[in-house]
Amino acid sequence: MDGVARADKAPSTDLASEWRPRGSAFVPCVPKAGEEASAAAAEKPQPSRVVVRKPKKFGYGYVVKDLLVRLSSHLMSFYGFSRGSCPEHDIYIVKDLLGHGTFGQVAKCWDSDTNSFVAVKIIKNQPAYYQQALVEVTILSTLNKKYDPEDKHHIVRIYDYFVHQRHLCICFELLDTNLYELIKMNHFRGLSLGIVQLFSKQILCGLALLKEAGVIHCDLKPENILLCTSTVKPAEIKIIDFGSACMENRTVYSYIQSRYYRSPEVLLGYQYTTAIDMWSFGCIVAELFLGLPLFPGASEFDLLKRMIEILGYATFSQGNILIK
């Protein structure tokens, strides 16, 4: 990372051409001397490896509501929205597990229709998660098709969605490392000012589109901003995870945003707008430059206390928060 994101090194005039993200996390392992025998044995046919621990069965779902995913298993798409006119269904072959969260899990899959890798988000077999995932599909489909058809505003692309064994699956473009991992790789020293500016402009471009569409992301944080795998635009980033997103005129939830990036409106239970994403954006920019969170509150009370210590007291006028 020395040539990438050192704060004590002057940024190049052409950041986009010189800066490169880390290498792909899926490069095949090259066996060392003496390991050829074990490598040869690994090539022999073996039973599929389970990429999540096996819970107790409960029909198609399980006690923890997660789909039991195995390497090389197939996810079938019979009614995909983007390629639904095709009479043949798409097959996504599971190659790896990328992550796991409260919503379910994300798998790296091979798309047999386009012959390319994609990320498939497999939602838990639970009504609340299923309904919210449908909202995510609706919002992202609208953003991609209506507001950003040329893919210029740094919003993740949704390719397909379907139901597999009672689990809603959403297919996205495959991206690389998130910004938190990038800061971690830089030993939490913060990135150079030039790189921070480069990333900030792209995030703002995405937020401007969300403002135009009347969409609130509700969970903007470094973990939800990923680097692209493209070598054409090596410093490009995209905003992901619209699982908590809502329309500005339909703000039904009060407990939203990750704590370090939670806005005062949400903390105090006020009506919120797209402005809360701008608050999160400010916290992200500060963290990119400092290497550490700006408001690392241990609780909501501690978070509010830290805000007051740095920014001063706030007053409220016609639903807006004004910092004194």
Q: What is the pLDDT of residues 256-269, one digit of tens each?
A: 999 999 999 999 99
The predicted structure's pLDDT at residue 29: 42
| Closest to 284 in 3D by CA, of 263, 266, 304 | 263
Q: Is 219 a catalytic residue?
A: yes
The predicted structure's pLDDT at residue 324: 60
pLDDT for residue 318 is more than 70: no
Q: What is the mean pLDDT of residues 29-37?
A: 50
Residue that the structure tokens 């005062």 belong to: 264
What are the φ and ψ backbone dihedral angles of 51, each rounded to 5 degrees? -95, -5
CA distance 186 to 183: 5
Structural domains of the chain in order of their starting residue, each with its CATH number? 56-173 (1.10.510.10), 179-323 (1.10.510.10)
CA distance 276 to 246: 12
Q: What is the mean pLDDT of residues 142-153?
A: 97
Q: pLDDT band at residue 319, thresholds of 50, 70 and 90?
A: low
- 111, 148, 160, 219: the catalytic one is 219
Residue 299 has which token pair?
A: 């609780």
Q: Binding site annotation covers 121?
A: yes
Q: What is the pTM of this model?
A: 0.77
Q: What is the pLDDT of residues 207-235, one digit of tens each?
A: 999 999 999 999 999 999 999 987 666 78
The predicted structure's pLDDT at residue 90: 78
Q: pLDDT band at residue 322, thresholds of 50, 70 and 90?
A: low
pLDDT for residue 304 is more than 70: yes
The predicted structure's pLDDT at residue 78: 64
Q: What is the pLDDT of residues 87-122, one digit of tens each?
A: 456 799 999 999 988 899 999 999 988 999 999 999
